[in-house]
Amino acid sequence: MKNHLPVIHADNISLTFQTADGPVHALKDVSLTINQGDFVSFIGPSGCGKTTFLRTIAALETPTGGVLDVNGMTPDQARKARAYGYVFQAPGLYPWRTIAGNISLPLEIMGFAKADRKQRIARVLDLVELGGFGGKFPWQLSGGMQQRASIARALAFDADILLMDEPFGALDEIVRDRLNEALLELWRKTRKTIGFVTHSIPEAVYLSTKIVVMSPRPGRITKIIDSPLPAERPLEIRDTPEFIALAHEVREGLREGHGYD
């Protein structure tokens, strides 16, 4: 099913921010390999460096130590090669553009021809089950639909890697459940490699092939758990002993990291 090629490789990544209050060790000696087709969740308490690590992969931050390799390139080269799409916590759609217009914007900036843009927009709207909504404005859509539109926007230029920073954090649980199911389906269909930041243990366990538990001060990885769950995951899998055991293992990992002391 997966071909297990490493697409993201972090070797002893450190990132220290110099602040007025002294140095903040946002990441310390973070080493991780993400293989092609992996769904990797990053979980841990506030300030453990989840967002900073994702931003480092996306070349939005520069490590102060270590080596990071994305698709065999430096993060900056990978950014220029459009190796990934990035989904932020807030949908960030322009209210004066339609949904199709919002998805089109990065494609316009990248210089895709009009006919190509049209095709891509139709394809990604279908992928996130928003076919028929391209002509609507963001404010005409629910929060969950807006977030799906922002995922479509990140998928439109067909990068192999999708980086998602707590994309469903602001949504209520029922909508979140539905989007989790939809995201898994999308991942199965597209075989993308996904890096996903979350605060939710059930969300991490439900979605991931690999769960990375992090701890703050300094931000570091304390545990990496490979999921034994099958790729096919109906929501009811959350009631199975395997799921509950895995959630327990993640919770223990968080506790061992003393993150919630």
Ligand X SMILES: Nc1ncnc2c1ncn2[C@@H]1O[C@H](COP(=O)(O)OP(=O)(O)OP(=O)(O)O)[C@@H](O)[C@H]1O
Q: Under the rule (CB under 6 A), what is the footprint of ligand X?
A: 17, 19, 24, 26, 44, 46-52, 219
> DSSP 3-state assignment of 110?
helix
Q: Alpha-carbon distance 53 to 57, whole Å?
A: 6
Tell the burial category of 171 from Cβ atoms under 10 Å away from its Cβ (0-12, 13-18, 19+). Answer: middle
Q: Least distance in Å: CB of 44 to ligand X?
A: 6
CB nearer ligand X, residue 149 or residue 212: 212
Q: Least distance in Å: CB of 136 to ligand X?
A: 30
For 187, the enclosing helix (H) or strand (E) is helix 173-190
In terms of Cα–Cα distance, which of 104, 103, 122 is closest to 113? 104
Q: Least distance in Å: CB of 150 to ligand X?
A: 18
CB nearer ligand X, residue 21 or residue 226: 21
Q: In this structure, what are the phi and psi dihedrals at residue 49, rounded to the nearest 5 degrees?
A: 100, 10
Q: Alpha-carbon distance 153 to 157, whole Å?
A: 8
CB nearer ligand X, residue 76 or residue 158: 76
CB nearer ligand X, residue 43 or residue 124: 43
**Residues 224, 32 contacting (CB under 8 angstroms):** yes
Q: Least distance in Å: CB of 54 to ligand X?
A: 8
CB nearer ligand X, residue 15 or residue 159: 15
Q: Least distance in Å: CB of 218 to ligand X?
A: 9
Q: In this structure, what token pair is assigned to residue 202?
A: 């059930």
